[in-house]
Structure 1
Amino acid sequence: MVFIIKRRQKKEMKTIMQKYEIIRLKKEGWSDNRISKTFGVSRNTIRKYWKSYCSNLDELLKLDPNVDTRKVIETLIDDPSYDSSKRTARKYSEEMDIQLRKILADEENKTRLLGPGHKQALNDRQIYQLLINQGFDIGETTIRNRLRVIRDEKKEAFIKQKYDYCDRFEYDFGEVRLIIDGRNIKGYLAVLVCPASGFRWAYLYRNSKMDVFLDSHVRFFEMLGGSFKEGVYDNMKNVVARFIGKNEKQLNEQLIKLALYYDFTINVTNCFSGNEKGTVESAVKWIRNKVFAYKYAFDTFENACDYLQEKLVEINKNSNIEEEKKHLKPYRPRYETARITKNRVDKYSFVHIDNNCYSVPEDLCQKWVIAKLYPNDLIIMYKQEIVARHARIAGKGKTRIDIRHYLHTFSRKPGSLSNSLALKSEPELKNMFNKYYKEKPKVFIEILRRYSDSDLKTLLEALEPRQQEAKIQQAVDDKTMEQINELCEMFIGGNQYVH
């Protein structure tokens, strides 16, 4: 029984199954005319495939060492195909090609002027219409095919790199959206990658300013205990101060100082060439997804920072960073990244920094102080001594007060304490005052003075009435025992009692 695929088609056959059926039927003696009627395929096509099969089979059976048998076998068993390589566009002329390439050059210039993310690029149909408007007679499909060929000419190959330990680190910034205390905020990830060891690390900040940029480097080198030979960056504003001409760049002075101190060279990639940064380009997306895809809501920004560090420890378990640490350049003392400002204290004992107010001890009113600003906190100094520490304020027009800076004034004017901004700025202290000390503000002030060097938790514990009662009772007990011992000394022969 002869098995025949009864499928007629106007197009020439395209599958290996059809080729197999024609060759099989020819072997069984079917005529070209009969096969043509059965399959709806031209007799010329049938003859071509039968002739090709026979000639390739003869070549294969000759066992000639000069014959490439692999090529013969491939031709013998490959799917049917047509050689279109010699076909040319009959109406596509050299003049048309010149005009088409000019349009594409204009498009590249537009991208340079507007930036790579612009939405005003001509599509293929618009380019075709420009050619038609210039009087060329050509089909749209031909133009689309030529556009594909021209664009493929400019595709570049990337060379995979392999680095030795300590060779380089790569740096980049990335944005991340977080919910902090119910508010949607934008955070910034400073991502640093060691390509030799596969180590990826990041720090979370509220902005991407220069102090953050420098701080992330210093924290990274401090954590690893050394530095690298080279740092790789893109053209971010913290790296390139300005462009001079087409290819020359003026580097940021602060980065140059950092590189001189840690002894690494600065490598800045070409514009719009993220591939030159290597692994860090994808590391930003990878870390953002691994860490914050599942959890993105936190009570405080500090909690988000701690969570990031915990997840990064898990992520880097399989890296070779411990081995790379052995090859790093020697450790250098921590680089000073603080932004230093000189400020005058106002009559409310505030210093104004970046449109925010920070309190200092009241005896510094109208005096000049030095502020050292770090990404997350600041310290204020007077005559080389630290007089105040505050967490940096996010935003503008806000005030941060330490109530202990105003104890002398409150001692003289205790009635001003209950409605003072200093007390209201500390809700927990305010609640404690309203609950237990509203009628005795002097006691409250004295406790603040006694614990002026303690943290807030210790201070709140000291303000608890039970703690105060216990201290009073302890003082009474101590006084009583002292009197008893004096009596024993006088009447019982000097035996003393303790409790």
Structure 2
Amino acid sequence: MPRISKVELFAAIRRDSRAGMSGRAIATKYRVSRHTVSDALTSAWPRERKPLPPRPSVLDPFKDLIDDILRADLDAPRKQRHTAKRIFDRLIDEHGMQAVSYQVVRGYVAERKPKIRAEAGRGPVNVFLPQTHRPGEEAEVDFGEVVINLRGEPVTCMLFSLRLSFSGKAVHRIFASGGTEAFLEGHVHAFTTLGGVPTGKIRYDNLKAAVAQVLGFSRQRVETARWTAFRSHYGIEAFYCQPGIQGAHEKGGVEGQIGWFRRNHLVPVPQVASLEQLNALVDKWDAADDSRRIGTRPHTIGEHFAVEQPQLAPLPDEAFETGTWLTPRVDRFSQVTVRTNRYSVPVRLVGRQVRVQLHASDLVVYDGRNPVARHERLMAKSRSRLDLDHYLEALLRKPGALPGATALEQARAAGKFTPVHDAWWEAVRRVHGDAAGTRALIEVLLLHRHMPHDHVVAGLATAVRAGALTADAVALEARKFAETDDHRAPDGPTMRHPAGNVVSLTERRLAQLPPDRRPLPTVTAYDQLLRHRRTIEGTGS
């Protein structure tokens, strides 16, 4: 007979009994006792089994002692309360406990400690209460660490997230750091993407970008001046969570959102060439997430956001400047120091004071009102980022400093100084010498200031093939590639000569001349002079 549940067994017994079968026959048919048949005829539901008495434990003689210690800890200083290891040691030293493992004591302490707190009226340790959020009112903000592969090197960046509490719509941005500039730029990007500002509270950690000082155990904070101005500009009402792990539960929505985003979009580790490229992907991921449902919600994030978006407060008419202005002085290495890192500027500014506008991922150097340098912000400390173009005027006077220049090594690593540059430089030095050849290379590098990088590289490749070892020849070939691009089809692809199909300068010039139909020169007419010379030699005259 196939195995059936006890409810089904009781139903079968009751059915056979109503059909007139005796109790003995039913017990024989189903191979059960007469007591089971009696129970089935009494109730259609089987009676619950009586719980087994608890098994004795070797810890039973010491449980009351452990409870007394835990009750005494309720009034002890927070940093001088018993750990499970300390209780275990005391039971052995003071009460002669034997044959009880530490794991048994630790398990009992973990089970009894919250119960004793509740019995004493101290309340449970963790209580989570469901919350209801109105459309357009509340949001949460936080940063989370992420690792990316930037130009082949793993680096740690900061993921900014602003999440609307009603719809769950979240906007993300990845920055080189989590400083003030990233904090403000993340808000501007989020508000612009959402098309408005929450009208109620936005929950925050006690970030240094916003909070200068936490006043005791209250909710009062001393805010930074820039954050106060930013809040006033956008009309933000900030709510600061409790410090430590307890505060994380007060904005659990954005905490969980960062983890979800990291697991679903940044695994495996993305490989990108720049943060701009990565953030373009982040924007696409945010848009795609609108079709996702959170938990058991009947509608998607996008559908909830369509209801919430009209309830947001409008954006202010004027933009808020999120960058930080600094005024460093250019040192003798033609560099400025910004937040422990050094960045190059043109050599003509050595000794002068310049203005630097620092953003989350880049910085711009100004000489008066004119921008003179732009750099990607360094992520580590005590590093340098040098642009070879800033040193070209000085290298014209000191060409011997170029081979070992740090700026040259960084240009090679960034792909700006290509193997084609090296090949032309080596060829020109063999012909004209080190100093003159290096000066010729610097003149070629100056072409990058007013010609596209690809055109100059293509001109160098042509010059190397043709043996043209002057900067003027490289400029001529680069302009020809530029003219080819200018005369491409209106909607067609760019027609560029590949570097592998170059021809010599002479062939290029001859190809542009009209065909020469004159006969080839010959020396046949001069053969008579050879015969005349033999005749004279034969006569002895």
Normalising by structure 2, what TM-score? 0.62
Q: Is the partner of 1:368 in helix, strand or coil?
A: coil
How far residue 163 of structure 1 moved from its aligned partner, in angstroms, is: 2.6
Provide closer, same or farther for how the CA distance between residues 146 and 29 of structure 1 changes in structure 2, counting only shifts above 3 A: farther
Provide closer, same or farther for how the CA distance between residues 167 and 403 of structure 1 changes in structure 2, counting only shifts above 3 A: same
Q: Which of 68, 71, 85 in structure 2 is aligned with 1:102?
A: 71
**Match for 1:275: what amino acid?**
H
How far residue 240 of structure 1 moved from its aligned partner, in angstroms, is: 3.8
Question: 1-side partners of 2:180 and 2:279: how far apart?
Answer: 19
**Match for 1:309: what amino acid?**
D
The answer on 1:186 being equivalent to 2:156 is yes
Q: Is the partner of 1:185 in helix, strand or coil?
A: strand
The answer on 1:167 being equivalent to 2:137 is yes
Q: Is the partner of 1:187 in helix, strand or coil?
A: strand
How far residue 263 of structure 1 moved from its aligned partner, in angstroms, is: 0.7
Question: 2-side partners of 1:108 and 1:400: how far apart?
Answer: 52
Question: 2-side partners of 1:164 and 1:188: how far apart?
Answer: 29
Give the structure 2 partner of residue 452 of structure 1: 449
Give the structure 1 partner of residue 312 of structure 2: 328
How far residue 450 of structure 1 moved from its aligned partner, in angstroms, is: 5.0
Give the structure 2 partner of residue 122 of structure 1: 84
Given that 1:19 and 1:80 are in contact with CA atoms closer than 8 Å, whether structure 2 keeps it comes out as no
Question: 1-side partners of 2:23 and 2:405: how far apart?
Answer: 110
Q: How does 1:230-241 map to 2 (within 5 A)?
A: 230-241=201-212
Provide closer, same or farther for how the CA distance between residues 177 and 363 of structure 1 changes in structure 2, counting only shifts above 3 A: closer
Which sections of structure 1, spanning at least 5 residues, go unmatched? 6-13, 58-75, 86-90, 115-119, 477-499
Q: How does 1:38-53 map to 2 (within 5 A)?
A: none
**Match for 1:369: what amino acid?**
V
How far residue 293 of structure 1 moved from its aligned partner, in angstroms, is: 2.1
Question: 2-side partners of 1:53 and 1:121: how far apart?
Answer: 56
Give the structure 1 partner of residue 191 of structure 2: 221
CA displacement, residues 342-377 of structure 1 (integer Å, 9 cap, x when unaligned) = 211112211122333211122211111121211211
Question: 1-side partners of 2:185 and 2:359: how far apart?
Answer: 8
Which sections of structure 2, spanning at least 5 residues, go unmatched? 54-59, 292-299, 464-473, 484-504, 506-541
Given that 2:149 and 2:269 are in contact with CA atoms closer than 8 Å, whether structure 1 keeps it comes out as no
How far residue 259 of structure 1 moved from its aligned partner, in angstroms, is: 1.6
Given that 2:114 and 2:124 are in contact with CA atoms closer than 8 Å, whether structure 1 keeps it comes out as no
How far residue 101 of structure 1 moved from its aligned partner, in angstroms, is: 4.9
**Match for 1:188: what amino acid?**
M
**Match for 1:197: what amino acid?**
S
Q: What is the aligned residue count?
A: 420
Q: Which of 382, 386, 397 in structure 2 is aligned with 1:401?
A: 386
How far residue 264 of structure 1 moved from its aligned partner, in angstroms, is: 0.9
Moved more, 156-165 or 217-226: 156-165
Given that 1:172 and 1:233 are in contact with CA atoms closer than 8 Å, whether structure 2 keeps it comes out as yes
How far residue 266 of structure 1 moved from its aligned partner, in angstroms, is: 0.6
How far residue 132 of structure 1 moved from its aligned partner, in angstroms, is: 9.2
The answer on 1:308 being equivalent to 2:270 is no
**Match for 2:145: what amino acid?**
E
Q: How does 1:339-350 map to 2 (within 5 A)?
A: 339-350=324-335
Q: Which of 423, 436, 455 in structure 1 is aligned with 2:424?
A: 436
Give the structure 2 partner of residue 362 of structure 1: 347
Give the structure 2 partner of residue 255 of structure 1: 227
Provide closer, same or farther for how the CA distance between residues 149 and 392 of structure 1 changes in structure 2, counting only shifts above 3 A: closer
Q: Alpha carbon RMSD of aligned pairs, Å?
A: 4.8
The answer on 1:279 being equivalent to 2:247 is no
Give the structure 2 partner of residue 80 of structure 1: 48
The answer on 1:243 being equivalent to 2:231 is no
Moved more, 364-373 or 454-463: 454-463
**Match for 2:311: what amino acid?**
H
Question: 2-side partners of 1:131 and 1:414: how far apart?
Answer: 80
How far residue 417 of structure 1 moved from its aligned partner, in angstroms, is: 4.4
How far residue 298 of structure 1 moved from its aligned partner, in angstroms, is: 4.5
Q: Is the partner of 1:329 in helix, strand or coil?
A: coil
Question: 1-side partners of 2:72 and 2:52: how far apart?
Answer: 28
Provide closer, same or farther for how the CA distance between residues 149 and 206 of structure 1 changes in structure 2, counting only shifts above 3 A: same
Given that 2:458 and 2:478 are in contact with CA atoms closer than 8 Å, whether structure 1 keeps it comes out as no
Identity %: 22
Given that 1:107 and 1:121 are in contact with CA atoms closer than 8 Å, whether structure 2 keeps it comes out as no
Question: 2-side partners of 1:328 and 1:391: how far apart?
Answer: 34
How far residue 265 of structure 1 moved from its aligned partner, in angstroms, is: 0.6
Give the structure 2 partner of residue 376 of structure 1: 361
Q: Is the partner of 1:214 in helix, strand or coil?
A: helix
Provide closer, same or farther for how the CA distance between residues 398 and 455 of structure 1 changes in structure 2, counting only shifts above 3 A: farther
Moved more, 232-241 or 383-392: 232-241
Given that 1:181 and 1:299 are in contact with CA atoms closer than 8 Å, whether structure 2 keeps it comes out as yes
Question: 2-side partners of 1:214 and 1:129: how far apart?
Answer: 53
**Match for 1:221: what amino acid?**
F
CA displacement, residues 429-453 of structure 1 (integer Å, 9 cap, x when unaligned) = 3644432254455554445445425
CA displacement, residues 376-418 of structure 1 (integer Å, 9 cap, x when unaligned) = 1111122233221111123234332223323433444555545
Provide closer, same or farther for how the CA distance between residues 296 and 105 of structure 1 changes in structure 2, counting only shifts above 3 A: farther
Give the structure 2 partner of residue 268 of structure 1: 240
Provide closer, same or farther for how the CA distance between residues 178 and 20 of structure 1 changes in structure 2, counting only shifts above 3 A: same
How far residue 213 of structure 1 moved from its aligned partner, in angstroms, is: 2.1
Given that 2:66 and 2:87 are in contact with CA atoms closer than 8 Å, whether structure 1 keeps it comes out as no
Q: Is the partner of 1:379 in helix, strand or coil?
A: strand
Given that 1:378 and 1:389 are in contact with CA atoms closer than 8 Å, whether structure 2 keeps it comes out as yes
Question: 1-side partners of 2:381 and 2:181: how far apart?
Answer: 18
CA displacement, residues 18-74 of structure 1 (integer Å, 9 cap, x when unaligned) = 9889999999567xxx99xx989xx9xx69x979985xx7xxxxxxxxxxxxxxxxx
Moved more, 437-446 or 208-217: 437-446
Normalising by structure 1, what TM-score? 0.67
Given that 2:40 and 2:46 are in contact with CA atoms closer than 8 Å, whether structure 1 keeps it comes out as no
Provide closer, same or farther for how the CA distance between residues 419 and 102 of structure 1 changes in structure 2, counting only shifts above 3 A: same
Question: 1-side partners of 2:408 and 2:51: how far apart?
Answer: 87
Q: Is the partner of 2:262 in helix, strand or coil?
A: helix
Give the structure 2 partner of residue 293 of structure 1: 267
Q: How does 1:420-435 map to 2 (within 5 A)?
A: 420-427=405-412, 428-429=416-417, 431-435=419-423
